[in-house]
Structure 1
């Protein structure tokens, strides 16, 4: 039996090598999965890539990975994902009508190309982000502090999603983190997307208060509109969760 297992391992290694050829990749994947599922017993001996032993997965899933941003933290959940880089949240100014409406996770150590730097006024302006939580008691101590972020890699998973107004993920999904849904103030000219900011946020050390820029406010549901109330509650802060599959 050991001889058979050694032969199987050799075949699996060989199949991994031929996957570089696009014409052979699909056939190799199918044969590898077939052999692996036959011999994947309690003492199978062969471990496929990305730690998928003991579970039937396609080759595409085993080799997949997905990147997501953890807003409000400079680290990733260690038992579910790896840190790619950490940085600071940035975006357009809350009083500006132009510029981007998306949030950016700006790296801590930017790299500039001197050949692309020039003087001029026709530019898109990016500002740092501040938490606006003076009247939100759970995070009142972080009001006007600079918000941080982390870009995370979840291996063995192929997609991610943020679910507003939930704290749990659907069955079969992996919970990366939960938090508070935050967006721009409703009367500000410079509106931007909603972010799921970690429920235990960090801020940039030494950040100066009240410099404004890209501002993040807790988001609430408003009843009396077309929002379903109940189950939604008027002016109750909305939670959020980020999940991977």
Structure 2
């Protein structure tokens, strides 16, 4: 019985010692936490972490804005229906008279009345267009296609030379390069047109025939009355078509 009583006492003392040590450790941990909260370095670390989280949120918001803008542009493009594909044409480069504007001619022309005109001395001519340069998918002397498009939600359409972006509030339809006839002596004026930045040729059967007619060349800047800078001598002029 005496031995059993000793074991019981030792056991009880062991448990009490554990309780005492446990209470001391909890007190130490509580004190450590108080010290950490009062530590300037800890507060600085927490502030820096919050700043990083804020910057991450700003980046994600900017990404979301960009995605929304892209989707709006895609929706707007889907609303814009291509009305007609055609053949680009105009007056031949070697004739001084005739029209100066570039035309988008249909693939299925209708004949004029059999009695038109009733009398005639001379007539102007319309030729198909040819590229006089190589770029991307097109080669020199390829025939030039065109398209006439309908913008359902636009009230104004504007071509801006020497720009590839639209003013604030406007929607870009496409951007590309300014083209027109050559400046060689004896060649005559035509209008400036905005060629799409990813141009196409008419058909495989209309490639590089070199029949001339209404021809298209890039347009380069010339310093003088055109200020340089901001322009550079010889730089090719870009363009953008915008709608509002």
Partner of 1:146: 143
- What is the RMSD computed on CA atoms of the aligned residues? 2.0
Call closer, same or farther: CA 1:230–1:116 in 2, change over 3 Å.
farther
Partner of 2:88: 89
Q: Is the 8 A contact 1:133 1:139 kept in 2?
A: no
Say whether residues 1:219 and 2:216 are aligned partners.
no
TM-score of the pair, normalised by structure 1 = 0.63
**How far 1:84 sits from its partner (Å)?**
1.1
Partner of 1:228: 227
**How far 1:189 sits from its partner (Å)?**
2.5
Q: Is the 8 A contact 1:182 1:219 kept in 2?
A: yes
Render the CA deviation track for 1:141-166: whole Å, top value 9, x for unaligned. 52101111000000121110100000
Say whether residues 1:200 and 2:191 are aligned partners.
no
Query: As a proportion of its length, which structure holds more helix?
Result: 2
User: Of residues 172, 176, 200 in structure 2, which corresponds to 1:175?
Assistant: 172
**How far 1:117 sits from its partner (Å)?**
5.1
Segments of structure 1 that go 5 or more residues without pairing to the other structure are 1-76
Q: Is the 8 A contact 2:137 2:199 kept in 1?
A: no
Query: Aligned residue pairs: how many?
Result: 165
**How far 1:81 sits from its partner (Å)?**
1.4
Partner of 1:103: 102
Q: Is the 8 A contact 1:91 1:104 kept in 2?
A: yes
Segments of structure 2 that go 5 or more residues without pairing to the other structure are 1-75
Partner of 1:28: none
2:121 & 2:201 partners in 1: Cα distance?
A: 31
Q: After TM superposition, list the pairs within 5 Å mapping 1:1-245 onto structure 2.
A: 78-79=77-78, 81-116=80-115, 122-134=122-134, 138-139=135-136, 141-187=138-184, 188-205=186-203, 206-208=205-207, 209-223=209-223, 225-245=224-244
Q: Is the 8 A contact 2:128 2:214 kept in 1?
A: yes
**How far 1:99 sits from its partner (Å)?**
0.4
Q: Which has the larger radius of gyration?
A: 2
Render the CA deviation track for 1:87-142: whole Å, top value 9, x for unaligned. 011100101100000000001111113424569661110000000105xxx34852
**How far 1:79 sits from its partner (Å)?**
2.7
Call closer, same or farther: CA 1:145–1:240 in 2, change over 3 Å.
same
Q: Is the 8 A contact 1:80 1:176 kept in 2?
A: no
Structure 2 counterpart SS, 1:79: helix
Q: Is the 8 A contact 1:133 1:140 kept in 2?
A: no
TM-score of the pair, normalised by structure 2 = 0.63
Q: Is the 8 A contact 1:92 1:190 kept in 2?
A: no
